[in-house]
Structure 1
Amino acid sequence: MQPFFDFLGSYWWLVFPIGGMMAGAGNAWERRSRLRHRRRLEVIKAKGELKAAHSQVPAAGAVAAGQTADEDIVRAQSQKERMARVLAAHDAVIKKWLEYELDVAKVIAYPAMSDGRQPLTAAFLRAKKVADNLRPESDTAKLTPELFAEYRDAVTDCEVAFDVAERDARRLKDASFTPVERKRLDTAQQLLAVAIDQAATPAERQLAYKRVRQELDGLISLSDDAIDALEKRVAHEIASPQRESSHPPASPPPPTT
């Protein structure tokens, strides 16, 4: 033990930098723990709000022996209405997600929403897959109360996951990029405005579109659907004034006799 104490006596000053490093690591771990806890609370809160808004599934069981035909019709209509509401909620969350997938301006502004490597975005994509797999063909589909409840809960989970991922993406914005990369994103956003601007010439729009793709290369991976949507929009802006000027002049009316 004596050599150990001799070492401590000679290098006692190491206590200060090592202590600082340990304190920094402890603070970082505490910050990550608080962030995870806050996200869990957001999920729990959002899920509770959505479940409270959704209608409850009626208890399973046999139809009462004295139930009339009118009651059967009312019950069927009520089931159809509940199914229609859940399907509408499912469609709504898909529509909001597609806005981030297809709108390149939103992809640039909130890149985390189209990045499957982001934990919250990945969680939404998993929840969406579950809800999509459970989705019935129409609001008239015959589901048992258990299957309906499973689908309804899957849609609720999908809504919650999207809401949490969206809030996180809007908070992060481009914070995960370096200053140089953020400058490229800003440039791409400005060029995108030119590419879809009717006031710009066709050559300016085509050049701006190509430069948008170049600036985003290696930073953001655009989906094929997003590229198709952007190309169609740029082509439409270019074709529109051309179509207006390409109509041949009307032939003069034949002389009257």
Structure 2
Amino acid sequence: MGEFWGGLWDFATAYWWLIFFVGPAAGGVAKAIERSAKRRHERRLEIIRAKAEAKGIVVRPTVGDLTARDGSTASGSASPSATDADDADASVRTRIERLFAAHDDLTHRWLEYELDVAKLIAFPAMSDGRQPLTAAFLRAKKIADGLRPPSADARVTASDLAAYRDAVTDAEVAFDLAERDARRQRDHSFSEVERRRLDTAKQLLNVAVDDAATPAERRTAYERVRAELDGLIAVSDAAMDRLAQRAALQLPPTAPPAAS
């Protein structure tokens, strides 16, 4: 045993310089093994991801791609993939319908200002596209309108649906900000003379829809409301037409001409 260790010592003493070659070589081998293990691990992860994506395509197919590729539904019984596709399609349709409801509600809230002259007089900033927050809402609504699918049964991709959802949300937030600012401002941005014109328009508006006023008084009040607001706030023709209809509904029915 002593001779073995003695011989090993003599070898190490005589060939100690080999360490400069053996050491790096051993380190290189270790690094190569590590790199190989890392590549195997990455390949396993890629395989796992590929399998997961493939499973996702089967269970949650792309919206609109609902036709069975193997024709297994020809016998009349739905295949598992077709059933999953139907469920996915129904889920997407439900989401679109909910977005439609939110979008329509937003449009209704906006039209309450666009078509109601009384609200426009009370909160003129909502009809003023020069107001930054109002302009931001109008831009956001235009984007949402452009991204809206033609129907709840329309074939849309997941990315298109996400874009429409985000656009509706952005428009809702923009409207809330614009409405809050308009209610805060009221007529504060107008001069004293302009405020008096707004007050006059409010009083005339009440007369225009007052069933206690005569037809002539309502007609005159309607015309003066238009004149007072001209150049002061933006009132759409649709809003004035709606006001004219309200005033006309108050008029007594015309008696039929007497028979000769």
Q: Which has the larger radius of gyration?
A: 2
Q: Which residue of 1 aligns with 2:253?
A: 242
> Is 1:208 aligned to residue 203 of structure 2?
no
Contact 2:59 2:84 in 1 (8 A): no
Q: Which moved more, 1:179-188 or 1:108-117?
A: 179-188
* Secondary structure of residue in 1 paired with 2:253: helix
> Is 1:93 aligned to residue 106 of structure 2?
yes
- Return the match for 2:135 from 110, 122, 125: 122
Q: What do the CA deviations read for 1:120-178 (whole angstroms, capped 9, x no partner)? A: 00000000110111111111111110000001100110101001000000000000011
Q: Which residue of 2 aligns with 1:76?
A: 89
Q: Which moved more, 1:165-174 or 1:228-237?
A: 228-237
> Is 1:138 aligned to residue 151 of structure 2?
yes
- Return the match for 1:63 from 58, 66, 75: 58
* Secondary structure of residue in 2 paired with 1:62: helix
Q: What do the CA deviations read for 1:83-110 (whole angstroms, capped 9, x no partner)? A: 0000111111011001100100000000
Structure with greater contact order relative to length (CA < 8 Å, sep ≥ 6):
1
* Secondary structure of residue in 2 paired with 1:230: helix
Unaligned runs of 5+ in 2: 1-52, 61-78
CA distance in structure 2 between the partners assigned to 1:231 and 1:248 by the alignment: 25
Q: Which residue of 1 aligns with 2:211?
A: 198
Q: Which moved more, 1:211-220 or 1:108-117?
A: 211-220
Say how many residue pairs are matched: 188
Contact 2:115 2:238 in 1 (8 A): yes
CA shift for structure 1 position 64: 3.3
* Secondary structure of residue in 2 paired with 1:219: coil
CA shift for structure 1 position 235: 2.1
- Return the match for 1:158 from 161, 171, 186: 171
CA distance in structure 1 between the partners assigned to 2:146 and 2:186 by the alignment: 31
Q: What do the CA deviations read for 1:27-60 (whole angstroms, capped 9, x no partner)? A: xxxxxxxxxxxxxxxxxxxxxxxxxxxxxxxx99
TM-score under structure 2 length normalisation:
0.68
Q: 1:64 to 1:77 in 2, by over 3 A?
A: closer
User: Which amino acid in 2 is paired with 1:213?
Assistant: R
Q: Give percent identity, aligned residues only.
A: 61
Q: What do the CA deviations read for 1:213-239 (whole angstroms, capped 9, x no partner)? A: 12112211211211221122222222x
CA distance in structure 2 between the partners assigned to 1:148 and 1:162 by the alignment: 21
Contact 2:59 2:81 in 1 (8 A): no
> Is 1:189 aligned to residue 202 of structure 2?
yes
CA distance in structure 2 between the partners assigned to 1:101 and 1:84 by the alignment: 25
CA distance in structure 2 between the partners assigned to 1:63 and 1:82 by the alignment: 20
User: Which amino acid in 2 is paired with 1:73?
Assistant: D
CA shift for structure 1 position 74: 2.1
* Secondary structure of residue in 1 paired with 2:59: coil
TM-score under structure 1 length normalisation:
0.68
Q: Which residue of 2 aligns with 1:224?
A: 237
* Secondary structure of residue in 1 paired with 2:231: coil
CA shift for structure 1 position 72: 2.5
CA distance in structure 1 between the partners assigned to 2:229 and 2:140 by the alignment: 28
